[in-house]
Amino acid sequence: MLQRRRQLLTLAILTTLFGVGHHVDHIIRGNHVGWPLIPEVTPFTYSLGFYPLIAVGFYLYIKGHTAPLYWAFVTGFGFFFVGLTHFGPLAVEPPADIIGPYDSVVAGYVAMAWLVMLIVLLAATCLYSTYLWWRKR
């Protein structure tokens, strides 16, 4: 069980790092940012609300609770939030808005790959957390 706790922690940390990196990318690109950087509230603003939820998950882990169901909900919601914000017919921040602002096409595609990896990590963490919760039941 200790190995599974570490694996879940590793996934949660990686997912968090990619989330922070994606927020930094927004700032570097200078588009689709929101409060607290500008007065307007945008999906960027709402996405910052994940960090207190992530902090609670790490707190639970430090206190000895793996909390797989908690991580499943947080990362599952994150997967849909990030995915729907960037892809599909309702995307308010489509891939062109990520790649386009960069002077270098390579930099734009690196930012896009970073986003895709964030979504993959959100899905993997959600699925692994769900598996751990199901197995514990």
Residue-wise pLDDT for 19-41, tens only, equals: 999 999 999 999 999 999 999 99
Provide the phi-psi class of 6: left if phi over 0, else alpha when psi is between -120 and 50, else beta.
alpha
Q: Is 99 exposed, middle or buried (0-12, 13-18, 19+ CB in 10 A)?
A: middle
Q: Give how far the C-alpha of residue 87 lies from the chain's centroid of Cα atoms, to the nearest Å.
A: 14
- Entry pTM: 0.94
Confidence of residue 117 (pLDDT cuts 50, 70, 90): very high
| Average pLDDT for 96-123 | 97
| Average pLDDT for 109-127 | 98
Q: Does the pLDDT value for residue 5 go beyond 90?
A: no
| Average pLDDT for 99-110 | 96
